[in-house]
Amino acid sequence: MKKINKSEARFLLKQMMEIRKFEEAVMDLLARGIADGGSHLYAGEEAVAVGAMAAIRTDDYITSTHRGHGHAIAKGGSLPHLMAEILGKQTGVCKGKGGSLHLADVSQGNLGANGVVGGSLGIAAGAGLSIRLRATDQVVLCFFGDGATNTGLFHEALNMTGRWSLPVIFICENNLYGMSVSVERACAVTDLTQKAVPYRMPAECLDGMDVLAVREAVARRVAAARKGGGPAFLVANTYRYYGHSRSDPRVYRTREEEKNWKDRDCIEQFAARLVKAGILTQAEVDECDRETAAAIAAAVEFAIQSPDPAPEELYRDVYYEAEEGSIYA
Amino acid sequence: MREITYRQALNEALAEEMDRDPSVFLMGEDIAIYGGAYGVTAGLMQRFGEERVRDTAISEAAIIGAGLGAAITGLRPVVEIMYVDFMGICLEQVNNQVAKIRYMFGGKTRVPLVIRTEGGAGRTLGAHHSQSLEAWFLHIPGLKVVMPSTPADAKGLLKSAIREENPILFIEHKMLYNTKGPVPEGEYLVPIGRAEVKRPGRDVTIVAHSRMLLFALEAAERLAGEGIEAEVIDPRTLLPLDIETIAASVRRTHRAVLVEEGTRTGGTGAEIGLQIMEHCFDYLDAPIRRIAGADVPMPKSPVLEKLTIPDPDRIYREVRELLA
């Protein structure tokens, strides 16, 4: 614990709490019929997004997934405007046109959550290529799940990134199941780090329930990529607490397995370590919890009170139209 | 005016835009050392270097995805998919990602991406290298679909496409690469989204794009010899369609013939025809006529291939029939 100071500790703890409570609030809104539509909740996996994002700068890019609320929050999205987007409101980060499956504030360098498993890996490679051609020292964090590693685009994008040595850190959030099908049932090779080997990039496995372990590994890979060291591949072992989506009865996994993971909960574990190391007191941890709860309650209130999009929004943003003049002038 | 080929015109457009704007770069299969399967990018790697003219692996989905990623982070990629027949391999990226990213994320991004590809029959390449699939893409809001028929349009439209802030599917035709036509020496653009009357006439409106425009003009020439003045319109951009120019013509001629190389069912003629009906039903003196490719996979046999797609003689005969 010596590598972390008090303000960093508070930041990481609070951000994980924000994500957890955000997801609990979404679940509650769904249950009460205030929210509808799809929702793939990130609860349980918070240490991955928070640890990874703590290792990059605001001008770096990420690509996200269908389970992207945590990435959107950790990449600097505003809680009220993210929650408003969940409800499809005009004040949402996507003006109510994206929703849970497309929850991302592109203006913050989040190049998109994605409704297609593995759909964003090419975008990540392209952002990496753009960094190369523009000669900056930015990096891309490309998040995806274990399920995506069996798609064609995964292999195309890793090959392209490896061949061109682009500054992309691939972060596989291995939560053990692609919807219901386990890694064992889906993958010919279950050690997912092996999937990076043919593409000439270093790979390592890390504890995705440990925010500091994630931060350390990502920071190390990012530092190398900024100096032209090329891509890397990280497999963060983690677990989603809820089912794949709201309608999932979780028949493919046991309650015992769920308990074992929850016993290692990333937030409780981190808070306990901080208290034990004397970095935060229990009272300070409780204060973080209260502040976060208040912020989420305010976000929910903002979202509920926000107006629906105006009908004229329907056709807006399909195409970019120049505000003034035209390229043919 | 000097005459150059459609291929040279495209090559000039790429070179000029790369000269003008360092954020323009090219990426695709066999486009660098080889110069493109049909030679459109010949010499560009030598001139602009391997960083800006990039050979890729055979990875259509990653080519489109990476093009998108580069486009939304400050560059203006022109990516090439060797045959339009291969678009199915990357259709998810085009449809779900490229065309929708701006809308899905509330208008916070722009997608200055050009996807160059080519299609069409004529080289007896069979079912996987001869299709005209443009109609597929009319069903994708957020995308623009451009199909030049002449060297001058090819150059002016490609330069415009590269400067656009929206994703463009730019479909060339393999049988047009060697065709020659007048192309201005200096800088010019052809606007995307505007049709052009390629031959004025009063008796019937023929709408034809890509190679079919040339066939329609040939038919019109023959019809003129018999006193029938056909007005021939090239939409040039199929999405968004310049229906105003087409409708204005039909209101004068009262008859419309739509020519397309792609298969008939669900084709461009179906869409353009219905739009004509919506805009000028009361002006029509005859049913709208579609002349289209046969609803079959493209056969190899040169004899069968010719039967599959429209030709000038068929356009001539069908117009005669319509006016009889």
**What does the pLDDT look like over A196-241, one tens digit per residue?**
999 999 999 999 999 999 999 999 999 999 999 999 999 999 999 9
Q: Which of B169, B158, B145, B171 is nearest to B9 (CA)?
A: B158
CB-count exposure of residue A256 (10 Å: 0-12, 13-18, 19+):
exposed
Percent of chain A with pLDDT over 70: 98
> What ipTM goes with this model?
0.96
How confident is the model at residue A325, as a pLDDT?
60
Note whether residue B287 is domain-resident.
yes
Indicate if the pLDDT at residue A324 is higher than 60: no
The verdict on B48 and B82 lying in the same domain is: yes
CA dihedral sign, ordered B28, B34, B38, B41:
positive
The verdict on B14 and B61 lying in the same domain is: yes
Note whether residue B166 is domain-resident.
yes
Using a CB-CB cut-off of 8 Å, the residues of chain B touching A156 are: 57, 59, 61-62, 65
Tell me which residue range forms the domain holding B102.
Answer: 3-182
Q: Active site includes B129?
A: yes
pTM: 0.97
Q: Which of the residues in chain B have pLDDT under 70?
A: none
Closest residue to A125, CB basis, from B66, B92, B164: B66
The verdict on B58 and B178 lying in the same domain is: yes
Contacts with A282 (C-beta within 8 Å, 6 or more apart), sequence order = A275
Confidence label for A1 from pLDDT (cuts 50, 70 and 90): low
Closest residue to A94, CB basis, from B27, B92, B106: B106
How confident is the model at residue A39, as a pLDDT?
87
**Under 8 Å between Cβ of A44 and A244:** no
d(CA B324, CA A37): 57
How confident is the model at residue A246, as a pLDDT?
80
Domains: count for chain A: 1
pLDDT tens for each residue of A153-195 = 999 999 999 999 999 999 999 999 999 999 999 999 999 999 9
Q: What token pair was written down for B188? A: 């010019």
The reply to whether residue B108 touches residue A105, judged by beta carbons under 8 angstroms, is: yes
Using a CB-CB cut-off of 8 Å, the residues of chain B touching A94 are: 104-106, 108
Q: What token pair was written down for A28? A: 């509650």
Q: Determine which one of B80, B118, B129, B261 is catalytic.
A: B129
pLDDT tens for each residue of A279-310 = 999 999 999 999 999 999 999 999 999 999 99
**Phi, psi at residue B290, to the nearest 5°?**
-105, 130
Note whether residue A325 is domain-resident.
no
d(CA B251, CA B280): 6
Assign residue B76 the CATH number of its domain.
Answer: 3.40.50.970
How confident is the model at residue A2, as a pLDDT?
60
Distances (CA, A) of B119 to A97, A240, B146, B214, B232: 34, 46, 12, 16, 22
The reply to whether residue B106 touches residue A98, judged by beta carbons under 8 angstroms, is: yes
DSSP B142-205: T-EEE---SHHHHHHHHHHHHH-SS-EEEEEETTTTT-EEE--SS-----TT--EEEE--SSEE
Domain boundary pick from B147, B182, B217: B182
How confident is the model at residue B233, as a pLDDT?
98
pLDDT tens for each residue of B227-246 = 999 999 999 999 999 999 99
**Under 8 Å between Cβ of B81 and B63:** yes
Please, what is the Cα angle at A285 between A281 and A286, to 5 degrees?
A: 115
How confident is the model at residue B241, as a pLDDT?
98
d(CA B319, CA B324): 8
How confident is the model at residue B92, as a pLDDT?
98
- What chain B residue is nearest to A97 in terms of C-alpha separation? B104
Summarize the confidence of residues A136-152 as an average pLDDT: 98
Whether a cis peptide bond, with omega within 30° of 0, leads into A309 is no
The verdict on B202 and B306 lying in the same domain is: yes
Note whether residue B294 is domain-resident.
yes
The verdict on B205 and B92 lying in the same domain is: no
**Under 8 Å between Cβ of B27 and B59:** no
**Under 8 Å between Cβ of A126 and B97:** no
- What chain B residue is nearest to A103 in terms of C-alpha separation? B105
Note whether residue A328 is domain-resident.
no
Tell me which residue range forms the domain holding A297.
Answer: 6-313
Q: What is the average pLDDT value for chain A, to the nearest integer?
A: 96
Note whether residue A327 is domain-resident.
no
Note whether residue B22 is domain-resident.
yes
Note whether residue B310 is domain-resident.
yes
Indicate if the pLDDT at residue A326 is higher than 90: no
Indicate if the pLDDT at residue A123 is higher than 90: yes
How confident is the model at residue A85, as a pLDDT?
98
How confident is the model at residue A3, as a pLDDT?
77
Domain boundary pick from B160, B182, B204: B182
Q: Which of B1, B35, B164 is nearest to B98 (CA)?
A: B164
The reply to whether residue A115 touches residue B68, judged by beta carbons under 8 angstroms, is: no
Indicate if the pLDDT at residue A270 is higher than 90: yes
The verdict on B284 and B138 lying in the same domain is: no
The verdict on B50 and B164 lying in the same domain is: yes
Summarize the confidence of residues A263-267 as an average pLDDT: 98
How confident is the model at residue A169, as a pLDDT?
98
Confidence label for A329 from pLDDT (cuts 50, 70 and 90): low
pLDDT tens for each residue of A9-51 = 999 999 999 999 999 999 999 999 999 987 899 999 999 999 9
Domains: count for chain B: 2
Best interface-test mutation with A: which of B26, B104, B194 has the largest number of A CBs within 10 A? B104
Note whether residue A218 is domain-resident.
yes
The verdict on B42 and B73 lying in the same domain is: yes
Using a CB-CB cut-off of 8 Å, the residues of chain A touching B24 are: none
Indicate if the pLDDT at residue A328 is higher than 90: no
Using a CB-CB cut-off of 8 Å, the residues of chain B touching A122 are: 61-66, 68-69, 93, 97
Assign residue A124 the CATH number of its domain.
Answer: 3.40.50.970
Q: Determine which one of B12, B17, B29, B60 is catalytic.
A: B60
- What chain B residue is nearest to A109 in terms of C-alpha separation? B73
Using a CB-CB cut-off of 8 Å, the residues of chain A touching B77 are: 126
**Under 8 Å between Cβ of B80 and B37:** no
DSSP A60-112: SEEE--SS-HHHHHHTT--HHHHHHHHTT-TTSTTTTSS-GGG---GGGTB--
Note whether residue A1 is domain-resident.
no
The verdict on B108 and B236 lying in the same domain is: no
d(CA A11, CA A53): 12
The verdict on B103 and B164 lying in the same domain is: yes
Note whether residue B279 is domain-resident.
yes
The verdict on B255 and B306 lying in the same domain is: yes
Note whether residue A71 is domain-resident.
yes
Indicate if the pLDDT at residue A323 is higher than 80: no
The verdict on B201 and B170 lying in the same domain is: no
pLDDT tens for each residue of B243-279 = 999 999 999 999 999 999 999 999 999 999 999 999 9
Note whether residue A209 is domain-resident.
yes
